[in-house]
Amino acid sequence: MGRKISHRSLKRIIQEELAKITEQGLTGELEDVEKVAKDVPETDASEQADALEQNIDFMKALKIQEKKLIKSLSKIREVKSKLRSKILKGIDKE
């Protein structure tokens, strides 16, 4: 969970963000689609496919790494549990 913020803090944050938006010249009004389309460079679909493929490969690598970490964590938890029970048995004998 995140930390709670006060009403005053929230109001101050919103005012700061509004000041940033007006500073950047963003009005919140919609611009003409044709004007915006002229400014946006066209990219080839193969370029986007390569980027998407790289992201998918990275996700697969992360899943493999995640599985290894989960396996390692389960081993650590098992050893920790055994040590805890060993400590508690030692305390009970005294």
The model's pLDDT over 9-18, given as tens digits with 9 standing for 90+, comes to 999 999 998 8
- 24 secondary structure, DSSP code: T
Residue 43 pLDDT: 76
Per-residue pLDDT tens digits for 13-70: 999 988 888 777 776 677 777 877 787 777 777 778 888 889 999 999 999 999 999 9
Give the distance between the most distant pair of CA atoms in the chain.
Answer: 83
Has residue 1 got a pLDDT over 60? Answer: no
Give the helix, strand, coil percentages of the chain, each rounded to 5.
Answer: 80, 0, 20
Question: Mean pLDDT over residues 76-91, rounded?
Answer: 92
Per-residue pLDDT at 94 exceeds 70: no
Residue 9 to residue 2: CA distance in whole angstroms: 15
CA–CA separation, 25 vs 20, rounded Å?
Answer: 9
Identify the burial level of 81 via C-beta atoms within 10 angstroms of its C-beta, where 0-12 means exposed, 13-18 middle and 19 or more buried.
exposed
Look at residue 12 and give its three-state secondary structure: helix
pLDDT tier at 3, thresholds 50, 70, 90:
confident
